[in-house]
């Protein structure tokens, strides 16, 4: 095992020990506070293009299992840990070509990201392969996450049927959809078909409900996707999750912006404005809908006031920024998906 390092675009360098694939991985350095769900995290398409730091002190301690995958492959570029908790996890990362380091001072790294914001970075498995000066120069040549439209790289290529039987028919627009969303829809009684990100509104309108999925990158460049949602409003029931929430916000006249270091973890408190109830939620996003006092804003982040949900009864559309499928995460928001499916009426 070789000595490696992570370098940030501001010149910060933190050493570690390589435990997985050799090579160099470039991406945006971010962190997640979730204590479990490491397989779900690295296979979540919303993490595409990112170098993920786990704040929990040990990662990999309960092994690996294909049942925990959110997609067929990892989407993270690199993994950073204080301690790798098992050989099976390290071997799984290596088998998928993921550069990973342990013995990283993750506390220092997270504090730096919190202070300066998510940054372009590189994880180097072997410090003999690329010296720090060259690495920082290459990092500064990489594109920033802001302005990147990444959904085309993670979305389905063609429409596929996830399951046949169901009381109602639901279309999932795949901007980077997690498998747990489709599984939960199936268990709630829906027949699910997954569509590519560029699906036409006329085709989607034929379904009893349309779910706008999570996904990576900046929502603002997704002009065609926003136009399709605007065209779909009022024609069928819509539920947006994560990126789908942000796109619904753009389609209804709200604005989005890049958060300093994002919301990533399974312990994010969200206020349900109508009841005063606080939900502890699972989140994974680097962009957000700007705060507003408008009536349609149903949920608000108790961290920074960003909009965590919309409800447009007149348009039969609603959304949440957090993840009601909770894969992984707490179950406070679980009923949202089931209630939405229960409220759909078959054509």
Q: What's the sign of the alpha-carbon dihedral 116, 214, 304, 221?
A: positive
Catalytic residue among 245, 268, 285, 323: 323
Catalytic, 242? Answer yes
17 DSSP β-pair partners: 3, 102
Residue 50 · residue 27 · CB < 8 Å: yes
Catalytic option among 102, 220, 225, 242: 242
Neighbour-count burial of 276, counting CB atoms closer than 10 A to its CB (0-12 exposed, 13-18 middle, 19+ buried): exposed
Which of these is catalytic: 102, 225, 308, 325?
Answer: 325
Report d(CA 97, CA 231) in Å as an integer: 41
* Active-site annotation holds for 197: no
DSSP assignment of 53-67 equals: EE-SS-BSTT---GG
Q: Is 158 a catalytic residue?
A: no
The residues, any chain, with a CB within 8 Å of residue 324's CB and separated by 6 or more, are 184, 241, 333, 334, 335, 336, 337
Q: How many other CB atoms sit within 10 Å of the CB of residue 124?
A: 30
Catalytic residue set? 242, 323, 325
């Amino acid at each position: 095992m070789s000595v490696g390092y992570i370098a940030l675009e501001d010149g910060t360098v933190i050493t570690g020990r390589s435990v997985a694939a050799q090579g160099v991985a470039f991406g945006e350095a971010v962190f997640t506070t979730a204590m479990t769900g490491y397989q779900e995290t690295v296979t979540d398409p919303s993490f595409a293009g990112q170098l993920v730091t786990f704040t929990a002190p040990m990662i990999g301690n309960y092994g690996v299992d294909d049942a925990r995958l959110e997609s067929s492959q990892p989407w993270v570029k690199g993994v950073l840990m204080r301690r790798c908790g098992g050989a099976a996890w390290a071997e799984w990362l290596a088998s998928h070509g993921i550069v990973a380091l342990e013995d990283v001072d993750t506390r220092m790294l997270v504090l730096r990201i919190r202070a300066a914001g998510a940054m372009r970075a590189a994880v180097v498995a072997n410090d003999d392969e690329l010296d720090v000066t060259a690495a920082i120069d290459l990092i500064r040549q990489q594109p920033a996450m802001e302005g990147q439209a990444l959904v085309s790289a993670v979305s389905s290529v063609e429409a596929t049927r996830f399951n046949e039987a169901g009381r109602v028919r639901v279309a999932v627009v795949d901007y980077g959809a997690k498998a747990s969303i489709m599984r939960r829809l199936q268990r709630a009684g829906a027949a699910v078909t997954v569509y590519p990100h560029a699906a036409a509104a006329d085709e989607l309108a034929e379904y009893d409900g349309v779910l706008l999925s999570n996904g990576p990158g900046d929502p603002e460049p997704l002009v065609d996707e926003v136009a399709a949602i605007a065209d779909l409003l009022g024609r069928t029931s819509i539920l947006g999750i994560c990126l789908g929430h942000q796109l619904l916000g753009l389609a209804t006249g709200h604005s989005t912006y890049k958060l300093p270091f994002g919301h990533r973890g399974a312990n994010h408190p969200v206020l349900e404005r109508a009841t005063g109830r606080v939900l502890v939620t699972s989140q994974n996003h680097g962009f957000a809908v700007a705060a507003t006092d408008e009536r349609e804003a149903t949920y608000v982040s108790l961290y920074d006031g960003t909009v965590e949900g919309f409800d447009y009864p007149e348009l039969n559309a609603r959304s949440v920024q957090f993840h009601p499928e909770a894969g992984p995460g707490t179950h406070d928001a679980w009923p949202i998906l089931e209630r939405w499916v229960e409220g759909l009426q078959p054509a």
